[in-house]
A and B are shown apart, each in its own frame.
Chain A
Amino acid sequence: MDNRLELKNVSKSFGEVQALENINFQLGRNEIVGLLGDNGAGKSTLIKIITGYHQPTAGALLFNGKKVDQFSVSKARQLGVETVYQERALAELQTLWRNVFLGREISNRWGMLDIAKMRDETRRLMSESMGFTSMAVSPDSRVGTFSGGEKQGVAIVRALFFDAEIIILDEPTMGLSLKETAKLVKFVRDIKRAGKSAIFIDHNIVHVYDVADRIVVIDRGRIAGEFITKEITLDHLMEKMIHVAETGTFD
């Protein structure tokens, strides 16, 4: 009952391609769910439904137990869903502050920007962001000049700024150095400590196993199985994953 987010019988098709079929998925309060699955299994589609980018063909989304209609990206953000996309969703020719406030610029009722405020907030965020980015970065520097880790930092800081309740991390370790990955894993644990929930997607099973409370495995658009991380060893999980990839089922 105490779910922050619940998907009931959600299906999604693109024309004739059935991307997701009858997905039932829950995310509890203060829980980190790891999402595993092969390329093209439907992980990204599932994420884009939760972020309001795609509309489900069938089924319902419930936030804090309440059904949400006419779901959209802006509605998802109002409900506290923040996403760190695989592709990071940054505009590289633009300045840091423009990226932090991408799509929800601080403005007055006539749409005039409050640039000074956005720059100040960006500066504050960067210095507070738990060492994920270097403090030397100015709000006016172009994001394209940053390293992979710094870019990921921007995407994460952006997600944090807006008081997220649910943070979705889609392949967040891609392109990161070992050191940066370690920081990221620590960051995900901090999310939990701060009482928030997260969905963590990574092709690296070890990372997922490391941080997730529960692991959901998707295969060919369906949920193939779920595990409580404490109740399964990493080796056993790996065996299961290989079995799923070969047969499409855990049995």
Chain B
Amino acid sequence: MSSQVDHVARAKGQTDLLSRLKKFARKNASQLGILGVFFGLWFIFIVSAPDTFLKGQIYYAFMSTVPFFAIMAIPLTMVVIAGEIDLSFPSIMAMGMVAFLLTYQATAFIGNIAAQVFLSFIAALLSGALIGWLNGLIIVKFGIPSLVATIGTQFFWRGAVLVLSQGKSGTLSYVKDSFLYPLLVGKIGGQFPVQMIWLIVIAVLGWVLLNRHKFGAHIYLIGDNRNSAELMGIKTGRVRIQAFMLIGLVAALAGVIASFHVVYFWPSLGDAQLLRTLASVFLGGTSVFGGTGTILGTFLGAFIIGAIEAATVAVGLTGFWTQLIYGLIVVLSVIMHTYLRKRVE
């Protein structure tokens, strides 16, 4: 008799657990989906190229190069959730470095490389935030769709970079003597790239901002229904401008990190990052229509994008296959996210 009661209770406990698991799965369908893709691809990589993917080397390589675009994908996720887009961040990366170089020259009188590099770094960040603010202002005050506005500003700032640098590249060997160099692109224990720590810090801060702060709450609401947000008193213009400032700031940081990494500035800096960054965001399950998206998804998306290139070669295919596989995975993932979202609704 009592064992029967136990049995019933246990069965009830199990269905409770099961229904809670189901609920959890439904709520986080998109994130679980991208986790599945992530581990699925990883498994395929390991099985097809165990020599490469069972050694630490390749992971250090990923952690060294993925942060260049992944840190920008974090604030870009917020911009997209708010129902906007930014295509100008590659130019902001380069423009931040131009501000860096100009400040370095202008502060030559200080005669202390560490101080000069530090001031130049601050100038780069400020110029990034300023350009982001201008982007936001154009979009909000003139009511121009961000797609169009940032196509325009992306050309404008790339043009500014070319004019100001006279199209010249140059070495930055002096930054190696600055305390910022090991802080931004150093290697802990001679192996672990510091930029990975920056990526983790920015991802965690981004997550907190998006999920635990008013700013993030308003980002979601604006992307979901801007009219409602306005009726309920949210200053939608201000929030959107702040989001563009954030990606401007982080793009400038990414520009400095990418340049420091190779101790070199080149005027087309950033161009290669446009599609990778966008792909990370959409691969991660952020909807282009706004209102939904997660930082975790973007984070995983960035590493998938980053791994495909190396993996294609390691698996034994020629480099010609890389883009084809990129495209395939992006398209399939976006279809998966759309399908999962429909099921939830």
A contact residues vs B (CB 8 Å cutoff): 51-53, 72-74, 77, 83, 85, 87-94, 98, 102-105, 107, 111-113, 115, 140, 142, 144-145
Known: A105-B214, A111-B214. A93 touches B230 (CB 8 A): no
Q: B231 — which chain A residues lie within 8 A by C-beta?
A: 51, 53, 73, 83, 85, 87, 89
- For B320-345 the 0/1 string (1 means CB < 8 A from A) is 00000000000000000000000011
Which of B9-57 touch A at CB < 8 Å?
27
Q: Shortest CB–CB separation between residue A142 and chain B, in angstroms?
A: 7
Q: Shortest CB–CB separation between residue A168 and chain B, in angstroms?
A: 11
Cα–Cα distance between A87 and B292 once the two chains are bound (Å): 21
Tell me, yes or no, whether B191 is within 8 Å of chain A by CB: no
Q: Shortest CB–CB separation between residue B225 and chain A, in angstroms?
A: 5
Q: B213 — which chain A residues lie within 8 A by C-beta?
A: 107, 111-113
Cα–Cα distance between A107 and B227 once the two chains are bound (Å): 23
Determine if A105 and B212 form an interchain contact, defined as CB atoms under 8 angstroms apart: no
Q: List 12 A-B contacts (CB under 8 A).
A: A90-B225, A93-B220, A93-B224, A93-B292, A94-B220, A94-B221, A94-B291, A103-B232, A104-B233, A105-B214, A112-B212, A113-B214
Determine if A91 and B221 form an interchain contact, defined as CB atoms under 8 angstroms apart: yes
Which of B203-241 touch A at CB < 8 Å?
212-215, 217-218, 220-221, 224-225, 227-234
Nearest 5 Cβ contacts at the A-B interface: A73-B233, A103-B232, A91-B224, A89-B228, A93-B291
What is the total number of residues of chain B having a CB less than 8 Å from a CB of chain A? Answer: 23
Cα–Cα distance between A87 and B213 once the two chains are bound (Å): 27
Determine if A89 and B221 form an interchain contact, defined as CB atoms under 8 angstroms apart: no
Cα–Cα distance between A104 and B344 once the two chains are bound (Å): 27
- For B292-325 the 0/1 string (1 means CB < 8 A from A) is 1000000000000000000000000000000000
Q: Shortest CB–CB separation between residue A39 and chain B, in angstroms?
A: 19
The chain A residue sitting closest to B289, CB to CB, is: A93
Determine if B221 and A102 form an interchain contact, defined as CB atoms under 8 angstroms apart: yes
Determine if A98 and B233 form an interchain contact, defined as CB atoms under 8 angstroms apart: no
Determine if B27 and A140 form an interchain contact, defined as CB atoms under 8 angstroms apart: yes
Determine if B345 and A145 form an interchain contact, defined as CB atoms under 8 angstroms apart: yes
Q: B218 — which chain A residues lie within 8 A by C-beta?
A: 103
Q: Shortest CB–CB separation between residue B239 and chain A, in angstroms?
A: 11
Q: Shortest CB–CB separation between residue B342 and chain A, in angstroms?
A: 12
Q: A145 — which chain B residues lie within 8 A by C-beta?
A: 345
Q: A107 — which chain B residues lie within 8 A by C-beta?
A: 213-214
The chain A residue sitting closest to B27, CB to CB, is: A140
B contact residues vs A (CB 8 Å cutoff): 27, 212-215, 217-218, 220-221, 224-225, 227-234, 291-292, 344-345
A92 contact from B214, B225, B227, B229, Cβ within 8 A:
B225
Q: A104 — which chain B residues lie within 8 A by C-beta?
A: 232-233
Determine if A142 and B233 form an interchain contact, defined as CB atoms under 8 angstroms apart: no
Cα–Cα distance between A92 and B226 once the two chains are bound (Å): 11
Q: Shortest CB–CB separation between residue A80 and chain B, in angstroms?
A: 14
Determine if B344 and A142 form an interchain contact, defined as CB atoms under 8 angstroms apart: yes
Cα–Cα distance between A102 and B292 once the two chains are bound (Å): 16
Determine if A144 and B221 form an interchain contact, defined as CB atoms under 8 angstroms apart: no
Cα–Cα distance between A84 and B217 once the two chains are bound (Å): 21
Q: A87-B231, A111-B213, A111-B215 are in contact. List 15 more A-B contacts (CB 8 A).
A: A73-B233, A83-B231, A87-B228, A88-B228, A91-B220, A91-B221, A93-B292, A94-B224, A102-B232, A103-B229, A105-B214, A105-B217, A107-B214, A113-B213, A145-B345
Q: Which of A52, A91, A112, A145 has the most CB of B within 10 A?
A: A91
The chain A residue sitting closest to B341, CB to CB, is: A93
A74 contact from B214, B217, B233, Cβ within 8 A:
B233
Determine if A142 and B345 form an interchain contact, defined as CB atoms under 8 angstroms apart: yes
Determine if A103 and B224 form an interchain contact, defined as CB atoms under 8 angstroms apart: no
Cα–Cα distance between A72 and B213 once the two chains are bound (Å): 23
Q: A98 — which chain B residues lie within 8 A by C-beta?
A: 217, 220-221
Q: Which of B214, B215, B220, B291 has the most CB of A within 10 A?
A: B214
Cα–Cα distance between A92 and B221 once the two chains are bound (Å): 9
Determine if B345 and A144 form an interchain contact, defined as CB atoms under 8 angstroms apart: yes
Cα–Cα distance between A72 and B230 once the two chains are bound (Å): 11
Known: A107-B214, A113-B212. A91 touches B225 (CB 8 A): yes
Determine if A92 and B224 form an interchain contact, defined as CB atoms under 8 angstroms apart: yes
Q: A73 — which chain B residues lie within 8 A by C-beta?
A: 230-233
Determine if B233 and A72 form an interchain contact, defined as CB atoms under 8 angstroms apart: yes
Cα–Cα distance between A142 and B291 once the two chains are bound (Å): 12
Q: Shortest CB–CB separation between residue B232 and chain A, in angstroms?
A: 4
The chain B residue sitting closest to A111, CB to CB, is: B214
Q: B224 — which chain A residues lie within 8 A by C-beta?
A: 91-94
A91 contact from B27, B214, B215, B228, Cβ within 8 A:
B228
Q: A144 — which chain B residues lie within 8 A by C-beta?
A: 345
Determine if A53 and B214 form an interchain contact, defined as CB atoms under 8 angstroms apart: no
The chain B residue sitting closest to A103, CB to CB, is: B232
B212 contact from A51, A53, A87, A115, Cβ within 8 A:
A115
Q: Shortest CB–CB separation between residue B337 and chain A, in angstroms?
A: 13
Q: A111 — which chain B residues lie within 8 A by C-beta?
A: 213-215
Q: B228 — which chain A residues lie within 8 A by C-beta?
A: 85, 87-91, 102
Q: B291 — which chain A residues lie within 8 A by C-beta?
A: 91, 93-94
Cα–Cα distance between A115 and B212 once the two chains are bound (Å): 8
